Amino acid sequence: MKISLPVVKVLRITDGEVPPMGFIYEAMERAKLGIKNTLGGKEEKYMPLWKIIDKRWNENLHSPLHAAGYYLNPQFFYPNSRRILGDEEVCDGFIKCVEKMLPTSIGESVEFSTEISNYTNARGSFRTNMAMNNRDKQPPVDWWLANGSSSPTLQHLAVRILS
């Protein structure tokens, strides 16, 4: 029963009041770590379960939207920005969403690159006390609506992905 608890938590996220897109990626990682810890960190015990989870995740559940939602969730991005920016799967998922959801002329523009840089480096409206204090207190969509004004194209994209 203890082994299934981390997976049940992921299922609860998908059934909650807050749109789950910005939370699923991190929840899956936490579920795997929860299983590992429950099994005492013994690789021979947790790896078979991880392989099953990874297979289902990769074949049926994972999409670039999950990675983009994780990237655009300020609750996870700012405390883990180095790890997230160094995670090829997450960054590729974000870029794939940009390419799919924005016209090429906008997605490849210098202005949009500046907007991404504003977000990743907490500049402009992302640097205000309100933005920094509410990263983990507001639902991601609300946070973007309140704090994304210096990056309007990215703000619009984030709201679409996280809604």
Q: What are the residue boundaries of the structural domains of the chain, listed by start?
A: 5-62, 67-162
Is the pLDDT score of 59 beyond 90? Answer: no
* Structure confidence by residue, pLDDT tens digits, 101-129: 988 777 678 899 999 999 999 999 999 99
- CA distances 33 to 101, 129, 132, Å, are 32, 33, 28
User: Structure pTM?
Assistant: 0.75
How far is the C-alpha of 134 from the C-alpha of 147, rounded, in Å?
9
CA distance linking residue 132 with residue 16, whole number of Å: 25
